[in-house]
Structure 1
Amino acid sequence: MEHYYVEKPQCKLRVKRVIFELKNGRKYIFDTPSGVFSFGAIDKATKILIEHALIKGKKVLDLGCGYGVIGIVLKGEYPDLEVYMSDINERAVEFSKVNAKNNNVEVHIKKGAFFEPWGDEIFDVILLNPPIVAGKQVVLRMISEAKEHLNPGGLFEVVAYHNKGGSYIKKAMQEIFGNVQDLYKEGGIRIYLSRKE
Structure 2
Amino acid sequence: MTGDHYFTASPETEARPREVEFTVAGRDYTLTSAGGVFSANRLDQGTGVLLRKAELPGPDTVGPLLDLGCGFGPIACVLAASAPTATVWAVDVNERARALTAANAGRVDAADRVRAVAPDEVPADVTFAQLWSNPPIRIGKEGLHELLLRWLPRLAPDGVAWLVVARHLGGDSLAQWLGEQGWQVRRHASQKGFRVLRVTR
Using the size of structure 2 for normalisation, the TM-score is 0.89
Contact 2:91 2:116 in 1 (8 A): yes
Q: 1:146 deviation in Å? A: 2.6
162-171 or 124-133, larger mean C-alpha shift: 162-171
Partner of 1:17: 19
> For 1:100-139, what aligned pairs fall within 5 Å after superposition?
100-106=105-111, 107-113=113-119, 117-139=122-144
Q: CA separation in 2, counterparts of 1:67 and 1:126?
A: 17
Tell me which amino acid in the other structure corresponds to 2:137. I
Q: CA separation in 1, counterparts of 2:85 and 2:182?
A: 28
Partner of 1:79: 84
Q: CA separation in 1, counterparts of 2:96 and 2:194?
A: 27
1:23–1:111 distance in 2 versus 1, CA, 3 Å:
closer
SS of the residue 1:105 aligns to: coil
State yes or no: 1:58 paired with 2:69.
no
Structure 1 stretches of at least 4 aligned residues deviating more than 3 Å after TM superposition: none
Contact 1:147 1:177 in 2 (8 A): no
39-48 or 56-65, larger mean C-alpha shift: 56-65
1:97–1:110 distance in 2 versus 1, CA, 3 Å:
closer
1:103-142 deviation line (CA, Å, top 9, x unaligned): 22233323323x6533231011111101111111221112
Contact 1:55 1:125 in 2 (8 A): no
1:174–1:150 distance in 2 versus 1, CA, 3 Å:
same
Q: 2:181 aligns with which of 176, 181, 184?
A: 176
1:10–1:104 distance in 2 versus 1, CA, 3 Å:
same
Q: CA separation in 1, counterparts of 2:117 and 2:143?
A: 16
Q: CA separation in 1, counterparts of 2:12 and 2:173?
A: 31
SS of the residue 1:118 aligns to: coil
1:151–1:40 distance in 2 versus 1, CA, 3 Å:
same
- Runs of 5+ in structure 2 lacking a partner? none
Q: 1:147 aligns with which of 152, 158, 178?
A: 152
1:144–1:13 distance in 2 versus 1, CA, 3 Å:
same
Partner of 1:166: 171
Q: 1:23 deviation in Å? A: 4.5
Contact 1:13 1:35 in 2 (8 A): yes
Contact 1:146 1:156 in 2 (8 A): no
State yes or no: 1:191 paired with 2:196.
yes
Q: 1:101 deviation in Å? A: 1.0
- Percent pairwise identity: 28
- Runs of 5+ in structure 1 lacking a partner? none
Contact 2:68 2:133 in 1 (8 A): yes
1:62-103 deviation line (CA, Å, top 9, x unaligned): 011111100101211221322221110000000001111122
Using the size of structure 1 for normalisation, the TM-score is 0.90
1:159–1:168 distance in 2 versus 1, CA, 3 Å:
same
